Amino acid sequence: MSTEYKIEVMQAYLDGKSIEFKFKPSFGSNWGMLRVTHIGIGTHWDWNNYDYRVKGEKWINIYTNGLPGNKIYPSKKEAIENAQSPEVKQFKLEEG
């Protein structure tokens, strides 16, 4: 997981967006809502044992031919992980 992704999630938290988390490894673990009581003042992010994402995001991969992929991902991280090459770009779908 890149530093840029971690910063993106933590900045979203500071901006008041809802954050979800789940225990690693991901099998058998569901996404839960991060609450103030989970982090609170003096925020501690446990990136070694948990995955975090901004709730409600929808991402697609755009391939080099300009066509979108056929799957929507819940996070930029998952879109990148499922891209078929490093030239694939990720695009966030807007709500509404």
Of 72, 68, 70, 71, the closest CA to residue 58 belongs to 72
Dihedral, 9, 14, 18, 24 alpha carbons, nearest 10: 40
The per-residue pLDDT string of the chain (96 residues; one tens digit each, 9 = 90 and over) reads 789 999 999 998 888 888 888 888 766 678 888 775 555 545 678 998 888 988 877 889 998 888 888 888 888 888 888 888 888 998 888 754
Cα 74 to Cα 65: distance, rounded to the nearest angstrom: 23
For residue 1, the model assigns a pLDDT of 77
The tokens describing 5, both together, are: 């992704």
pLDDT digits (tens, 9 = 90+) for 18-45: 888 888 876 667 888 877 555 554 567 8
Q: Where are the domains of the chain?
A: 1-55, 56-96
